[in-house]
Amino acid sequence: MSTRIGFYVCHCGINIAGKVRVEEVAAFAGELKNVVIARDYKFMCSDPGQEMIEKDIKEFALNRVVVASCSPRLHEKTFQSACQRAGLNPYFFQMASVREQVSWVTEDPDEATGKAKTLAAAAVNRVNFHQSLISRKTRVHPDVLVVGGGIAGMQAALDIAKAGNKVYLVEKDPTIGGHMLQFDKTFPTLDCAACIGTPKMVEVGQNPNITLMTYCEVVDISGFIGNYKVKIRKKPRYVDVNKCTGCGECTKACPVKYQLYTPKEKERIK
């Protein structure tokens, strides 16, 4: 089936038409590849505007629709619903923001019109590659992964855990705390850095909703929102973590010795 695109540009009263020559944009879009019909209208989001799109989809056998108007955050669902009512898969719709991104931020009408044409051409080109999609419901895994055990990571983990969710806190270093541990005081109050960081470290370690994974790194993430699969590399400990108290006595009997040399000593050894 050949691609047949309908293009519509909105005046939005004078919000868009006050800076952008919308008739010129519609005429430009009408010459683009696979565009069958191109129109401009005062308020595309109004009932008559939506009815125009629905009528054109049926009359011109449109299988793609582009609307150049306001932000997709405001009316993307509106126009997708109009497409769906006319029997067109809503994901064959593409929107170009020529209000927030053009008319509201561009002083010169010529520049505004030129930019609107560019965004229109980009939207038309993109919609050519859209595929039919369907909406479905899927279970969401409620557990949360926080990467990095610095002050921000610790606070995020604690907030999520207090909300009743399971948290996996991954830190690449042997201990959490991050750069906060390296500071004496914090700006601008000059509060003691350790006085802020240490209680959070203890709270993270004791919170039953937080699984602390230090000396670990995230190596792969797959899946999708709410259903991610994460592969984590756990670096070797060389000690029994269930018995270790951090006293350091094991280092006295450890057969592996590390000698630190100054730059001058390294040169002498060479």
Domain that holds residue 109: 5-127
Range among 109-118, 184-193, 240-249 with highest mean pLDDT value: 109-118
Q: Are residues 115 and 158 in the same domain?
A: no
Distance CA 98, CA 76 (A): 13
pLDDT for 89: 97
Calculate what percentage of the chain has a pLDDT beyond 90: 81
The per-residue pLDDT for range 97-113, each reduced to its tens digit, is 999 999 999 999 999 99
Residues 130, 135, 141, CA angle at the centre, nearest 5°? Answer: 120
What's the confidence (pLDDT) of residue 79?
A: 98
- For residue 89, is it within any domain? yes
Whether 116 and 38 map to the same domain: the answer is: yes
If we measure between CA atoms, which residue out of 160, 194, 190 comes closest to residue 177?
194
For residues 13 and 76, membership in a common domain is answered with: yes
What does the pLDDT read at residue 231? 97
Side chain identity at 84, as an amino acid letter? Q
In whole numbers, what is the pLDDT of the chain averaged over residues? 93
- CATH code, 58: 3.40.50
Same domain as 88, residue 21: yes
Residue 204 domain flag = yes
Q: How many CA atoms lie within 13 A of 266 on its CB side?
A: 5
Whether the Cβ atoms of residue 103 and residue 86 lie closer than 8 Å to each other: no
- In this structure, the answer to whether residues 15 and 96 fall within a common structural domain is yes
Residue owning tokens 């008319």: 103
What average pLDDT does range 16-36 have in this prediction?
98
Q: What is d(CA 155, CA 169) in angstroms, rounded to the nearest whole number?
A: 11
What type of residue is 80? Q
Is 122 a residue whose pLDDT tops 80? yes
Q: Quick one: 79 and 154 in the same domain?
A: no
pLDDT of residue 252: 79
- Residue 72's φ and ψ, nearest 5 degrees, are -60, -25
Judge whether 246 lies within some domain. Answer: no
Domain count, the chain: 2
Structural domain contains residue 262? no
What pTM was estimated for this model as a whole?
0.65
